[in-house]
Amino acid sequence: MQICKDSVVTLSYTLTDSDGTLLEQSDPTISYLHGGYDGIFPIVEEALEGQNVGYECTITMAPDEAFGEYDESLMRIEPRNLFPQHVKVGMQFEGQPEGGGVEETILYTVTEITDDKVTVDGNHPLVGKTLTISCKIEEVRQASQEELAHGHVHGEHGHHH
C-alpha cells in the first residue's frame, strides 16, 4: 500500500542536529496518521506521500520547518511562591501563554530559580536548530474509522486511551 491521506505510517527514524549529534531515535518504531493531522513534521509527511514500505529518506529541516525560531515572549519570570517548594531547574509545568486562550496550554521548562523568582521558558528545547531526520517506512495500513475520528493512531505504536 502506498502512503496517502488517512493511512497509518509506521517508521523507524533518527533525529540529529547540524553537528551530527544524535538527539532522538525510534525504539523501535513510531506510527502516525498521514494527511495533515500534525503527527509528524509537514516536510517529512510531504516526502513520504506516495511511498511504499522499505522507502528510506534523509531530510534536513531548517528551524522554520522543525520547531521554529526562538520566541522571546514564551520566556516568563514568575513569583517563586507559585511553584512547589521542591522546584528545580529542568522541571516542566503546563501553563497558558500570555494572551493565550483558556484552551491553549504549552509546556514550560524551569531555567532559573532565585529566592523570589522562577524563570520558565515555553520554547521547545530544539527551537532554532537545523535538524536532520533519517527514516525508513516499516509499515503502511489504512486508518480505522476510530483513528480518523480521533485524529491520531491507536494501538501498538500509536496513542493509547
Q: pLDDT for 118-153, tens place per residue? A: 999 999 999 999 999 999 999 999 999 999 999 999
Nearest alpha carbon to residue 155 among 147, 90, 71, 17? 147
What pLDDT does 24 receive? Answer: 96
| Spatial distance between the Cα atoms of 75 and 7, rounded to a whole number of angstroms | 38
In the beta sheet, which residues pair with residue 14? 25, 134
For 100-118, the pLDDT digits (tens) are 666 788 999 999 999 999 9
The pLDDT mean for the chain works out to 93
How far are the Cα atoms of 17, 80, 121 from residue 85, in angstroms, in the given order?
Answer: 35, 9, 19
What pLDDT does 160 receive? Answer: 44
As a CATH number, domain 7-66+127-150 is 3.10.50.40
Sign of the torsion formed by the C-alpha atoms of 85, 90, 94 and 100: positive
pTM attached to this predicted model? 0.81
Burial category of 89 from C-beta neighbours within 10 Å (exposed 0-12, middle 13-18, buried 19 and up): exposed
| Spatial distance between the Cα atoms of 125 and 120, rounded to a whole number of angstroms | 12
Length of the chain in terms of residues written: 161
CATH 2.40.10.330 for domain 72-121, yes or no, is yes
- Delimit the domains of the chain by residue range: 7-66+127-150, 72-121
